[in-house]
């Protein structure tokens, strides 16, 4: 089934930032930066996105030296901008890392959304 960009996703994508490499089954590796991440896929900013339905291995690299990898398929491609990837197969050790990253991204997203609200509700006379 071809999931277009406008179709509803199975899970929430969270803002995320990490370098990545996408390696097609045949062809040259493409680099880029992951900007959104979910349990089932990601969006990769790349100046050279691959064609939809291309089967790839995606590797996402963390600042701490760890990485995540999964077999994936390009779901959609925006010329000169990037591509949406759907994970097809994730090994258990990488699934654990992905879940950890998603928990962290969710917490960051929640705290970023709460800060302006907290500042609005704060009594200016309560400052120390």
Output the six-digit token pair for 56: 């790839």
Going by C-alpha positions, the residue among 103, 12, 1, 123 that lies closest to residue 52 is 1
Over the chain, what is the mean pLDDT?
A: 85
Mean pLDDT confidence for 25-40: 93
Q: What is the pLDDT of residues 51-61, one digit of tens each?
A: 999 999 999 99
Going by C-alpha positions, the residue among 97, 84, 103 that lies closest to residue 36 is 84
pLDDT of residue 128: 40
Domains of the chain: 14-117 (2.40.10.220)
The helix/strand/coil state of 63 is coil
Output the six-digit token pair for 122: 């704060």
- The Cβ of residue 3 has, within 10 Å, a number of other Cβ atoms equal to 17
């Amino acid at each position: 089934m071809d999931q277009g960009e406008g179709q509803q996703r199975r899970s929430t994508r969270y803002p995320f930032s990490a370098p990545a490499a996408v390696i097609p089954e045949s062809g040259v590796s493409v680099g880029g930066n992951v900007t959104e991440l979910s349990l089932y896929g990601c969006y990769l900013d790349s100046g050279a996105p691959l064609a939809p339905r291309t089967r790839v291995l995606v590797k996402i690299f963390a600042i701490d030296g760890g990485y995540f990898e999964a077999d994936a398929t390009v779901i959609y491609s925006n010329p000169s901008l990037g591509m949406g990837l759907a994970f097809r197969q994730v090994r258990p050790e990488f699934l654990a890392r992905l879940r950890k990253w998603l928990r962290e991204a969710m917490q960051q997203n929640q705290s970023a959304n709460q800060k302006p609200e907290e500042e609005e509700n704060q009594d200016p006379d309560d400052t120390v």
